Amino acid sequence: MNKIKVLLLIVVMGIGAAVTVVYSGIVNVAADEPHGELVYWLLEQTRENSIAIAAKNIEVPNLDDPDLLLSGGSDYQFMCSSCHLAPGQKESDLSIGLYPAPPNLTVKHQEHGHEGGGHDDVNQQIKKNFWVIKHGIKASGMPAWGKTHDDKRIWGMVAFIKRLPTLTPTEYQILTAID
């Protein structure tokens, strides 16, 4: 009986602590100040594991289709480049102001400083890219484009993003100018 009382006391104290944190305003939600290391790690792990599990069974089409690449280029330019940048671009007003900072998709996945992709094979990363573009990520600034775009159009963006790290600024301009 004592163990039940102790457990109940711990649960009540935990709920009380959570309510205090939520209603006290002591948690800084400002986007211009980073999370503590533990909070950042917890959020990164939660996000990466959630995306990996959700994207696991996605079927990847042929991403070498030139029509996909061309449609994805113009969409990327208008919908993604202000946050995820274009070749030759180091930052933008949005990429600087968002926290966490959006990955720079013009560099290889391992180089853009975001967790979770280092151990993925290319196919896993492609599936995750599709899922993120389609469903977005809560409280990150990444919209759910699947609400306004069909899967073929999203696969076009994925095909373009796959090629993006290899594009020169001139090639990028040519591929994004066509619609």
pLDDT at 103 over 80: yes
For 87-112, what is the mean pLDDT? 88
Q: Where do the structural domains in the chain lie, given as residue ranges?
A: 44-177
Just give the CATH number of 44-177. 1.10.760
Q: CB under 8 Å, gap of 24 or more: what pairs does 116-121 form?
A: 116/44, 116/47, 116/48, 116/51, 116/52, 120/52
pLDDT tens per residue across span 59-68: 999 999 888 8
Higher pLDDT, 115 or 106: 106
Nearest to 157 by CA among 47, 78, 104, 49: 78
pLDDT tens per residue across span 32-45: 889 889 989 999 99
pLDDT at 111 over 80: no
